[in-house]
Each structure stands twice: as structure tokens, then as C-alpha cells.
Amino acid sequence: MSLAAVIERSQTDREGWKYTSLAPMAKQAFVPALPAQAPKNLPSIVAVAGERHQIVFVNGVWQPEHSRLGELDGILKGDPKTGYRFTLAGQTCLVTAPVELVFVTDAGNTAAEINLRLTIDLGTSGRLTLIEHHVKATGSVPAAAVYETDIMLGPQAKLVHGKIVDGGEMLSMFAQTRVDIAEGGYYDNFILTTSGKLVRNEIDATLAGKLAQCTLNGTMLVRGTNHADTTTHIRHAVPFGNSSQVYKSVVDGKAHAVFQGKITVAEHAQKTDAQQVSRALLLSDQAEVDAKPELRIFADDVKCSHGSTVGALDEDALFYLRARGLNEQAARGLLIRAFANDIIDEIQMPEWRDYCRTKAEEWCDAAE
């Protein structure tokens, strides 16, 4: 999908893009990004470089010379034009080490557009942890990255899918992830957004087999004039599906956070359990949050709920902390950290949880 296609979709799907305007981008001329080199220091949740499994993309092009797959060599194939395919299908495969995808944007001296399409195919009873790092754009010119990801999970397969977006002030990123979950499959997604001029993450997950499960969680930390948008759609197509969504936002300055979450339960998808929660914390009078939860239920034997709250720091909690010797800055920082880390602490993988907590702490330090 090109940037022009994204802009066209935003203009035709007015309801889905109600809170995220691409009108300024439509006026900007973007050219295809030129080849570039990967930076020397790449982010990773694994402390020891020799133990990492990384696939590095620069401006949408796979860099085998900078990647490290070890015994997993050969699982990625493709090219920039037709897209890349990451496959563990056709066999029962247990990958214990996390595989990290590092996406580097280097616009150079001209406003650049990056496009990448990725297919992930995880076969029957496969187990995989996949972590995406979206690295800050270099230079002082705008860059726009468009990522399409299709994920197929076979029966009983489990994918833990993490993503951290730290794109800096010049990157606009549009990521569309489509997930198909077979019988007994489990998809667990967590997204942490800490910077980016305009970031929109879309997740469209279909629970296509009985006893399929889907967990979508995330934290958006935005400040300045940045804009972050998380739009999800979970489709329960068959009975006995289970899904959960929890998203939290902390918004400072003149920033804008958006959460749109839709759950659709098909007519025959009885015994569905679908829960959705959105929480947002405003740190300034000019910060803005829009939340739009939506349920479309066509079955009668289900348990579904959604909730959304937006508010400022609790004055009573601030007073309590001040009364126990903390100054105002320290008290505010403690409450902001507690709010942001609440959902991060639910991450099961220790290395990924600690990495996200560190990045959130760094953001909170700057907010104090």
C-alpha cells in the first residue's frame, strides 16, 4: 500500500479517519526513499549481541548483512517489490528466542516515502515471540512509512507480537496489521508508542476457529504536537472465542491521542467473551484525546463489554503524596509512571516488559 492509497482511504472512509486528518500530508510531495545504511547501534531487548535474532530493514529493504538469524537462517524470503514472507508454516516449530524486526528510516535530504509488505505464517502448534523496533528517522526532512503485515496463525499456534514506535519528530507512520487466528490459536499484541509526528496503528484480527484467543494491549505516550492513533477491529466469526483489549494514553502539551476499538460478534459466534477498556490521562489543558469504543453483536449468548475514561491527575492523590513529603514534581512523576506502567507490567516476557518499562520511564522523566 502506498502513501497515496492511505491518503485516499482517509478521504473516503471519513468515519474511520474522523479524528486523524491527513490533509497536511496530501500537500507534501514525497519521493521513494533511496537506499541507505543501517546505523551501528541497533535497539534490542536482548543484552548480549551474540544472542540476538534480528532482521534489519532500512527504508523498507531487508539488509541481510546487518541481520542475525543463526539457526533460523532461511525463514525470510522476498524482495521490496513483491513483499517479504516470514514463514514457520508446514511444521511444528518452537522458537524460544525472540526474533526482532528492526525498521530503520533514513530520509536523507528529501521528503521520503517507505513502503513494506510483510507476511508472517506460523504453522500448527508453532510458538514465536516477534518484537518490532521502529527507529527514529534521521535528518530534518519529513518521512512517511507505510507498513502492511498479514499474519496467519495455524491451529494451536501462539504468537507474542510486540512493537515499539520511537520515530522522532519527523516520521509519520501508518501500520496496518491483519491477523487470522485458527482453532485454538492465540495472538498477543502489545504496542508502545513514545514518539512520532503522526503514528497510526491499525489491527484487524479475525478469530476464525473455535477457542481462538486475541489480546491487544498498548500504551501511547505523546507530547508536543505529536499525534498517535490506535484503531482496532476484532471479529468473532465462530463460537467460543475470547478477546481482550486494554489501551492507555498519556498526553502532554498540544498532543492528540486517538483510540477507536470495534468488536464484531457474528450471528453464530455464541459463547463469545470480548472485553475492551480505554484509559487516558491528560497532562495539560491543550492536550486532546478521542475515544470511540464500538460493539456490533449479532449473537445472543455472549459476554461483551467496553469502557472508556479520560481525565487529569487525581488531585486527592497528589495531595496525599505531597502530605508525605514529596514535592509537586516528584508526586506528579510518580502518578504518571504508575498510570503508564500499569498495563506494561502485564507483559509476560521479562525482557520485553523491562525494555518497555525503561522506555516509558525515559518518556516520563522528560514529562516532569
CA dist 73 and 66 (Å) reads 13
pLDDT in tens, 218-276: 999 999 999 999 999 999 999 999 999 999 999 999 999 999 999 999 999 999 999 99
Say what the pLDDT of residue 73 is: 78
Q: Which three cell numbers stand for residue 100?
A: 526482532
pLDDT in tens, 41-90: 899 999 888 888 999 999 999 999 999 887 777 889 999 999 999 987 65
Residue 117 forms beta bridges with which residues?
A: 148
CA dist 74 and 302 (Å) reads 43
In the chain, what are the domain boundaries?
3-313
Which helix (H) or strand (E) element contains residue 186?
A: strand 186-195
CA dist 75 and 222 (Å) reads 35
8 Å CB contact between 186 and 213: yes
Residue 210, judged by CB atoms within 10 A of its CB (0-12, 13-18, 19+), counts as middle
Q: Which three cell numbers stand for residue 221?
A: 505516550
- pLDDT of 120 > 70? The answer is yes
- Pairing type for strands 127-134 and 186-195 reads unpaired
pTM of the model: 0.93
Question: CB within 8 A of 97, min separation 6: which ones?
Answer: 46, 51, 53, 129
